[in-house]
Structure 1
Amino acid sequence: MNTIGERIKEARRIRGLSRPQLAEAAKIKYPTLAGIENNDQAGTTQLPQIAEALRVSAKWLQTGKGAMELAEVGPDDSDYTDVTGYSQAVGLGAAGAEAEEYAETHSLKFKKTSLRRRGIYGRNLAVYYGKGDSMEPTIEDGDAILFDTSDTRVVDGALYLVQVHGAANPEYYVKRAMVLEAGVYFASDNPRGDHNWQKPRPMDSKREPITVVGRVHWIGGWAD
């Protein structure tokens, strides 16, 4: 990642943001962001707000030096809010992850301003962890996945935590929605990495119906 544009694209991928979503969050025009990402514009005056929207170091974004992630803050910092994380896997690969009724919990901190920009501050948020490879390169095995259980309205192209029924126990997956004339389907970003999801699956399948648990808003990896 030798350019500012490449670093922005990588940070967007990690955060699960499309280019239009980042432009909106950073409060800059889409063509301006596109120019910066494509290295047609230096865009130095917009870098601080882009860095804030991506929750990355402005120094790293501009120079590529130092840590990408911002330093973690203490629990008393009023600019951050706690989101409950569950030691609950969600299937990305061939097999789903069964719901764990008593999954261990912990707290993760998210910046309030970032959640407000996406309109999800104060909503029913939770974090699960991905397992498998069928959503690569969007989601890697072990990535944390922030989702909103109060948002189950399906939007074409968005990512959702879903439950697939029909097995002995319902299983969790994260998949991308496809809204077609024939109905709503869910698909993998990397179908070749998952034999069970080589083709999109219909939401209203009689054999294995799908229920939307919540919309995915952020994806990130933490070291063990």
Structure 2
Amino acid sequence: MSTIAENLRRIRKISGLSQALLASKAGVSQQLISQLERGENNKTTELPAIAAALGVAVHEIDEDFTPGTTGMPTKVIPLISWVSAGAMMREDITDEAIGAIRISDLPDNGDWIALSVTGDSMDRISPPESVIVVDRTDKRLVSNACYVIADPDGNATYKRYRPSPMRFEPVSTNPAHEPIIPDNEPLIIGRVRRSILEM
């Protein structure tokens, strides 16, 4: 279970706000934000205002907060740019965040990132500009599941796994895309658990 300090710091960084800007938006002091993020203050009546300024529900900051009947719990997931596979593997990827999205009904034990799909190599599942949600803790290969992996050049790519022989295939309307057949154990960033398309 995460602390208020950890949750607030993570959500604030994903949102791209400084402590001062968050304090200004929430109508509280920067000192209070700093105290909360350092774990020096866990009892404040200002959490609803801080959560509203971040665009999240209070229970996303304080997991012990009992939400009312006004909605389903959500997670704030960093939307990151398509950087190298190695960069996607780093524990702290807040520098790569280009925004954040809120997703409901995700397991608590995942390490979640979101990526905006470019290109047409997976357009039968995720058309360009759709968003995929990736669990970086889930690296166990399952036949027909989709993964973000490193391609032979070290770039991150999104493909469907097939065993015997091991390969990562495009699922595309474009026949020019070819499968990736790794020579060694592939670098797996994580399993794609959801594909979202705005209509």
Bucket of the pairwise TM-score, normalised by the shorter protein:
0.5 to 0.7
Greater strand share, 1 or 2? 1
In 2 relative to 1, CA 194–104 (structure 1 residues): closer, same or farther, beyond 3 Å? farther
Q: Which residue of 1 aligns with 2:146?
A: 159
Q: Whole-Å Cα distance in 2 between the matches of residues 86 and 194 of structure 1?
A: 29
Q: Give 2:100's aligned amino acid.
A: S
Query: Are 1:80 and 2:73 an aligned pair?
Result: yes
Map 1:213-224 to 2 at 5 A: 213-222=189-198
Q: Whole-Å Cα distance in 2 between the matches of residues 76 and 124 of structure 1?
A: 19
Query: Are 1:176 and 2:160 an aligned pair?
Result: yes
Cα deviation, 1:118-143, whole Å, max 9, x if unaligned, reads xx323111111111011122111111
Q: Which residue of 1 aligns with 2:170?
A: 188
In 2 relative to 1, CA 98–86 (structure 1 residues): closer, same or farther, beyond 3 Å? farther
Question: How far off is 1:216 after superposition?
Answer: 0.4
Q: Whole-Å Cα distance in 1 between the matches of residues 119 and 128 of structure 2?
A: 5
Query: What is the TM-score normalised by the length of structure 1?
Result: 0.49
Query: What is the TM-score normalised by the length of structure 2?
Result: 0.55
Query: Equivalent residue of 1:216, what SS?
Result: strand
Query: Equivalent residue of 1:202, what SS?
Result: coil
Q: Which residue of 1 aligns with 2:82?
A: 89
Runs of 4+ in 1 over 4 A off after TM superposition: 96-101
Q: 2:108 aligns with which of 117, 121, 126?
A: 121
Bigger Rg over Cα: 2
Gaps spanning 5+ residues in structure 1: where?
Answer: 1-73, 91-95
Cα deviation, 1:76-132, whole Å, max 9, x if unaligned, reads 264323232234138xxxxx9995874234332222xx32xxxx3231111111110
Map 1:1-224 to 2 at 5 A: 75-76=56-57, 78=59, 79-89=72-82, 102-111=95-104, 114-115=105-106, 120-165=107-152, 167=153, 170-180=154-164, 182=165, 184-190=166-172, 193=174, 195=176, 197-198=177-178, 200-204=179-183, 210-222=186-198
Q: Which residue of 2 aligns with 1:8?
A: none
Gaps spanning 5+ residues in structure 2: where?
Answer: 1-54, 60-71
In 2 relative to 1, CA 188–132 (structure 1 residues): closer, same or farther, beyond 3 Å? same
Query: Equivalent residue of 2:82, what SS?
Result: strand
